[in-house]
């Protein structure tokens, strides 16, 4: 049996960024470039790491997972963003739920993955003698499985809570994609449970993971400061600086979006902030990790010479 709300609202309209044609054209070019860079960059990371035995280590294993999540996020969000800049952007009820589920899955999984990556760097720097045992292949696979499964479970719960809601109109989502807070404000059913569960999920995924990540880096920085040689400090910091930059960029935008007082309507600033972690961050991740990483650049050059 079809959900009741589908008999009332079967289509949603996604709001564009701006109404000015010139700005829309400029944004289309900007987001199209971001789309291509994100797909090519993250695809390159996955390919190089997969084909380079020297990079088959826990740090690069988690980096492949991050790159895969960035590709999924980009493919889920950006095509509809590009469409909204050239024509009226509509999305079906089912398509909206699917986009909501996939995006929430990837967002949740990335927050958990950052904690796993921070834990990996903590063991590598603070427990180097036991690193091979504590971060074995089986542990890495178990952590990755937990990350993907927990993210999917969170997305499934939050998306299923939307199914019983009725949508009587209007059907204009004041955002450029189907995100849970912006969809909930359109419901003519009570959304108290949805809002409570969203806040609980945010506290666990954003708040707790941020605390775990920062705690790991607190121990890492303290350990680095105890290293006597300047070269040793530089080498130790270089192994985690890229991840720290990515985490800072990601959390600063996600925390703003999901822990703001008012849920739902997204103004221009909210859209800009959301665009950072849905489109800009997946594009910057490959650049940040590869430009500062000698091992990756060496492996990439070796693959080029093979061809």
Dump pLDDT digits (tens) for 206-249: 788 888 888 988 888 888 888 777 776 777 676 677 777 777 77
Whether the Cβ atoms of residue 106 and residue 74 lie closer than 8 Å to each other: no
CA 266, distance to chain mean position in Å, is 19
Beta bridge partners of 91: 12
Per-residue pLDDT at 178 exceeds 60 = yes
Per-residue pLDDT at 30 exceeds 70 = yes
Residue-level pLDDT at 267? 59
Strands 172-173 and 11-14: parallel
In this structure, of 24-28, 184-188, 238-242, 300-304, the range with the lowest mean pLDDT score is: 238-242
Residue-level pLDDT at 7? 47
Distance CA 56, CA 39 (A): 22
For the whole model, what pTM was predicted? Answer: 0.86
Tokens of 192: 């108290």
- On average, the pLDDT of the chain sits at 83
What does the chain come to in residues?
Answer: 307
Reported confidence tier of residue 263, pLDDT bands at 50, 70, 90: very low
Residue-level pLDDT at 285? 78
């Amino acid at each position: 049996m079809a959900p009741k709300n589908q008999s009332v609202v079967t289509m949603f309209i996604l709001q564009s960024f701006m109404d000015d044609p010139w700005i829309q054209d400029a944004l289309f070019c900007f987001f199209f470039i971001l789309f291509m860079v994100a797909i090519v960059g993250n695809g390159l990371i996955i390919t190089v790491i997969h084909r380079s035995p020297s990079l088959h280590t826990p740090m690069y294993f988690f980096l492949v997972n991050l790159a895969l999540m960035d590709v999924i996020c980009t493919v889920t969000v950006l095509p509809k963003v590009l469409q909204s800049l050239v024509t009226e952007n509509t999305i079906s009820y089912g398509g909206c739920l699917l986009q909501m589920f996939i995006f929430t899955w990837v967002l949740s999984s990335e927050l958990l993955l950052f904690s796993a990556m921070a834990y990996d760097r903590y063991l590598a720097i603070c427990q180097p003698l036991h690193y091979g045992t504590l971060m074995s292949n089986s542990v890495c696979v178990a952590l990755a499985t937990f990350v993907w499964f927990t993210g999917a479970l969170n997305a499934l719960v939050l998306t299923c809570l939307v199914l019983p809601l009725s949508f009587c109109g209007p059907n204009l989502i004041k955002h450029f994609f189907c995100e849970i807070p912006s969809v909930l404000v359109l419901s003519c059913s009570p959304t108290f449970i949805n809002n409570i569960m969203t806040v609980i999920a945010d506290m666990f995924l954003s708040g707790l993971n941020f605390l775990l990540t920062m705690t790991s880096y607190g121990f890492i920085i303290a350990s680095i400061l105890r290293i006597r040689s300047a070269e040793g400090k530089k080498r130790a910091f270089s192994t985690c600086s890229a991840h720290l930059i990515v985490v800072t960029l990601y959390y600063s935008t996600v925390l703003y979006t999901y822990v703001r007082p008012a849920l739902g309507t997204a103004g221009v600033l909210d859209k800009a902030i959301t665009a950072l972690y849905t489109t800009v961050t997946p594009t910057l991740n490959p650049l940040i990790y590869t430009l500062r990483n000698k091992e990756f650049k060496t492996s990439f050059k070796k693959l080029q010479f093979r061809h």
